[in-house]
Amino acid sequence: MVDVKKLEYYLNNPLMKRIVELKERNFADKDQFEDAPVNYDDAIENYKRILAITDDVAKTIIEPNSESVDQEGPHLENNRMVYASKTYENLDATRKAGLWGISMPRRFGGLNLPITVFSMLSEMVSAADSGFQNVWSLQSCIDTLYEFGTPEQQAKYIPRICQGETMSMDLTEPDAGSDLQRVMLKATQDADGTWRLNGVKRFITNGDSDIHLVLARSEEGTRDGRGLSMFIYDKRDGGVDVRHIENKLGIHGSPTCELVYKNAKAELCGDRKLGLIKYVMSLMNGARLGIAAQSVGLEQEAYDQALAYAKERAQFGKKIITFPAVYDMLSRMKAKIDASRAVLYQTARYVDIYKTLEDISRERKLTPEERKEMKKYSRLADAFTPLGKGMTSEYANQNAYDCVSVHGGSGFIMEYKAQRLLRDARIFSIYEGTTQLQVVAAVRYITNGTYLGIMREMLAEDVCNCMKPLRDRVAKLVDLYEEAVEKVKADENQDEHDFLARRMYNMTGDIILSLLLLRDATNVPEEFAKSANVYVRMAEEECVGSHAYIMNFKADDLSNFVAE
Amino acid sequence: MKLNIVVLAKQVPDTRNVGKDAMTAEGTVNRAALPAIFNPEDLNALEQALRIKDLDPENVKVGIVTMGPPRAGEIIRQGLYRGADCGWLLTDRKSAGADTLATSYFLSKAIEKIDKEVGHVDIVLGGRQAIDGDTAQVGPQVAQKLGLNQVTYAEEVLKIEDGKATIRRHIDGGVETVVAPLPVVITVNGSAAPARPCNAKRVMKYKYATCPMERKGDEPWSDLYETRPYLTLGQWSIADCGADYEQCGLAGSPTKVSAVKSIVFQAKESQTLTSSDADIEGLVKELLDKNIIG
């Protein structure tokens, strides 16, 4: 489970001051709302208190329920989804604890927390049960409704989410998975202007939720993304049946539904035709950060399980934790967690700043400095989100795999938690954009030099003396990276470029996460120095290999790979 | 229906996870070494009160009463975080060293004061017993002193209707459902529903709520006490409750602990019996001889 004290380190980041200032509009709520903070310290104290509440709910209710939820899973009853019975207990506890409407303004009944803090809560809930984390954290869909809905829609729906009603985003269909441009669910208007939805959605997480955001084709005759709009479907209106619940490898606490829309009444959210290109992109960026947090939580739980087992289990007359082959795995797991947190919270902070400035811009005109700030952080958030989602979700899988390895044969036995973590983690690098799609989202920042600029800037930062040798080694990796990227660009072959993109992405992630960890190790050496040491070594191992792979690659070599 | 509920709660040392230094050399509980917690069964009692409040939040008021040193104000905050409306700390140097008789006296005087000055008390709820004493006497003694009905070992307050409470209580080998007229004292068993978690908004609202005696005066948020009256918790002394000093604290406590011994149960000798008729007959004879059965 997640140690709250460890998370408090990330609350001390210097950017938090700016985030709180923006999010609290200089503490304008303090005379109107009894729960509003009166100053920066008070806001941070509130965040810590909410971390403690979530910690309590996660450890005393959600985690103890997790095994039963995994075994029971959801089921279908009269075209409705019924959660595993203990999921209702989890929902009730999170509602009583008031952990709904996390990011929403207080005037709607929300907690007005930054996404950075929301990500911490998500991490804790995920460590307890990553399937339930989906059901709970999908409340962040409300951010998109808040951003693009009318004042009437905000007033109608946001208070309901703050009371604990659940959400889903109904995007994918049988023929539209990664390629959402192919969405066919039909949206038509009655004579009185009422929108009606007809068609099928598939693989919808928490698909029988109270309030849905739905991507549908509103422009008849169109075939691409420009014909899609976003709609709000309210379960109270009826018209959507659950036809099937998927039987999945993992995250059994998170029901995955196939939905049939039968002339379901819906409201248009935002402008027509901007459904995919604007609103789904907004939804996705939030969801990807959510999966990064989910990944980090599971990484931590996998490490805890492995560590506890390694300390207990003796072979050859010794505890297995004393064997180099075992502590090699454990140290890598730990380093991946620390690197993952570094990128998760860095991304979250960037998102907080630009999203909050964007929100303020709807209340008043931003100053030129604020506009510049918003642009800067928006660009950083765009560059960091695919790195965060891709790297952490792959690490979650690796940690779950190593957790089973440390357990040996016991890891393969259903009575141990290790196997569940392995099953649960597998989806993280698939849904909300596969790792391969994160590479696609990141690649333009690789080729246009955005990441390289960030690396060079971070390399120029001061690090503590003990980190200087490691920093110099990372500097060498940056040179290799630059050389590899230049080589791919110079070859000017699109197929080769796409083929090598994953290696370039991995190098990018390795280097940026290394640099973030050096920063953390400089701040708190006793907490992060070991992980920095282990992680930079892993980065070297992978970057040198990827560099060789890329440098020796010619477009002609592709013929050896094309599958037939 | 207007209903006022008082929940009696105690701050106790957490004796559930004791380390080596849990006991002093004199054989008493080393309070400094153990974290102070909300007595577990008092949390069960609070949950029952809050469930009654859930049915009619506007009309049902829940107040916490706790007796202890100033730091026991934390118990009231914990109650407020979960949904209680208010609370009073009964604190007085002269109430130190109280046994169950003196404790129930001070508590009953406070309940009388609430009944007179704040609002008629309909239900008093408390945990069956505290984990630092395990006596289960305080609840019943409070009922006795106030002349109220009492229901012990309660698992659930099923309904409050027509001035009567229907309560399911835990008994040996099963449960029974009883009906008691209000006002009533109910002590709640650990097998009742666990307490709900603290609520985020309420924690943010009440986190600086303190009894006057808990304050040092230099808190960075001191000025909030001027503008937010709900941040000042009730605090009563023996005199405030019109109680008699002679019946409080050590002076009012007839219980004297003469010694505390650490008892370890162990089998000193054992005999093995088979299921043969001879062995069984021998056993029955032995039990009869020792007057264990007869």
How many other CB atoms sit within 10 Å of the CB of residue A175?
11
The predicted model scores a pTM of 0.93
- Minimal Cβ distance to B199: which of A36, A61, A98: A98
Whether the Cβ atoms of residue A19 and residue A116 lie closer than 8 Å to each other: yes
Residue A308: inside a domain, yes or no? no
Residue B43: inside a domain, yes or no? yes
Q: Do A96 and B196 touch (CB under 8 A)?
A: yes
Per-residue CA distances from A199 to A187, A239, A515 (Å): 9, 11, 48
**B210 bridge partner residues:** B232
- Provide the pLDDT for residue B28: 64
Q: Is A124 on the interface with B (CB under 8 A)?
A: no
Q: Measured between alpha carbons, how far is A303 from A418 in angstroms, rounded to an integer? A: 10
- Provide the pLDDT for residue B133: 83
Total structural domains in chain A? 2
CA B240 to chain A, closest CA, distance in angstroms equals 30
Residue B278: inside a domain, yes or no? no
Q: Measured between alpha carbons, how far is A473 from A231 in angstroms, rounded to an integer? A: 51
In what order do the strands lie in the sheet containing B164-171? B174-181, B164-171, B149-161, B184-188, B123-127, B3-8, B60-67, B86-90, B234-236
**A101 bridge partner residues:** none
Among A216, A239, A274, identify where a domain stops.
Answer: A274
Residue A315: inside a domain, yes or no? no
Residue B242: inside a domain, yes or no? yes
Q: Measured between alpha carbons, how far is A514 from A478 in angstroms, rounded to an integer? A: 11
Q: Which of A42, A108, A117, A124 to mutate to test the interface with B (most CBs of B within 10 A)?
A: A42
Residue A118: inside a domain, yes or no? no
Which candidate in A147, A394, A432, A496 is catalytic? A432
Lowest mean pLDDT among A476-480, A537-541, B87-91, B265-269: B265-269
- Give the pLDDT mean for A101-123: 97
Q: Do A34 and B224 touch (CB under 8 A)?
A: no
Among A243, A274, A305, identify where a domain stops.
Answer: A274
Query: Using alpha carbons only, how large is chain A's radius of gyration in Å?
Result: 24
Residue B281: inside a domain, yes or no? no
Total structural domains in chain B? 1
- Give the pLDDT mean for A16-27: 96
**What's the pLDDT band for A241 if we cut at 50, 70, 90?**
very high
Q: Is B229 on the interface with A (CB under 8 A)?
A: no
Residue A210: inside a domain, yes or no? yes
**Chains A, B: CB contacts under 8 A, how many?**
52
CATH number at residue A207: 2.40.110.10
Q: Do A34 and B199 touch (CB under 8 A)?
A: no
Residue A549: inside a domain, yes or no? yes
Residue B271: inside a domain, yes or no? no
Residue A33: inside a domain, yes or no? no
**Residue A432 annotated among the catalytic residues of the structure:** yes
- Give the pLDDT mean for A408-415: 96
The pLDDT tens digits for A262-307 are 999 999 999 999 999 999 988 888 889 999 999 999 999 999 999 9
**A199 bridge partner residues:** A261
- Provide the pLDDT for residue B29: 67
Q: Measured between alpha carbons, how far is A541 from A170 in angstroms, rounded to an integer? A: 41
Q: Which residues constitute the domain of residue B97?
A: 3-252
Residue B262: inside a domain, yes or no? no
Residue in chain B lying closest to A51 (CA)? B200
Whether the Cβ atoms of residue B189 and residue B128 lie closer than 8 Å to each other: yes
- Minimal Cβ distance to B200: which of A36, A38, A111: A111
Q: Which residues constitute the domain of residue A215?
A: 167-274
Residue in chain B lying closest to A110 (CA)? B201
CATH number at residue A464: 1.20.120.470
CA A385 to chain B, closest CA, distance in angstroms equals 28
- Provide the pLDDT for residue A62: 98
Q: Which of B43, B201, B219 to mutate to test the interface with A (most CBs of A within 10 A)?
A: B201
Whether the Cβ atoms of residue A229 and residue A195 lie closer than 8 Å to each other: no
Which CB contacts under 8 angstroms, 24+ apart, belong to A111-115? A111/A35, A111/A50, A111/B200, A111/B201, A112/A23, A112/A24, A112/A29, A112/A36, A113/A23, A113/A47, A113/A50, A114/A19, A114/A20, A114/A23, A114/A348, A114/A352, A114/A356, A115/A286, A115/A289, A115/A348, A115/A351, A115/A352, A115/A355
Among A242, A259, A274, identify where a domain stops.
Answer: A274
Residue A326: inside a domain, yes or no? no
CA–centroid distance for A237 within its chain: 31
Residue B188: inside a domain, yes or no? yes
Query: Residue A7, class by beta-carbon neighbours within 10 Å (0-12 exposed, 13-18 middle, 19+ buried)?
Result: buried
Q: Is A35 on the interface with B (CB under 8 A)?
A: yes
- Which amino acid type is present at position A255? P
pLDDT, chain A, mean: 96
Q: Is B202 on the interface with A (CB under 8 A)?
A: yes
- pLDDT at A478 > cutoff 80: yes
Q: State whether residue B98 is helix, strand or coil.
A: coil
Ramachandran class of B134: left when φ > 0, alpha when ψ lies in -120 to 50, beta otherwise = left
- Provide the pLDDT for residue B271: 78
The pLDDT tens digits for A171-208 are 999 999 889 999 999 999 999 999 999 999 999 999 99
CATH number at residue B71: 3.40.50.620
- Which amino acid type is present at position A279? Y
Better-scored residue on pLDDT, A55 or B217:
A55
- pLDDT at A443 > cutoff 70: yes
Q: What is the pLDDT along chain B (294 residues), one digit of tens a residue?
A: 799 999 999 999 887 777 777 777 666 667 777 889 999 999 999 999 999 999 999 999 999 999 999 999 999 999 999 999 999 999 999 998 889 999 999 999 999 999 999 999 999 999 999 988 889 999 999 999 999 999 999 999 999 999 999 999 999 889 999 999 999 999 999 999 999 999 999 999 999 999 999 999 899 999 999 999 999 999 999 999 999 999 999 889 988 877 777 777 777 777 788 888 999 898 888 888 888 886
Q: Do A35 and B199 touch (CB under 8 A)?
A: no
Lowest mean pLDDT among A283-292, A323-332, A484-493: A283-292
Residue A70: inside a domain, yes or no? no
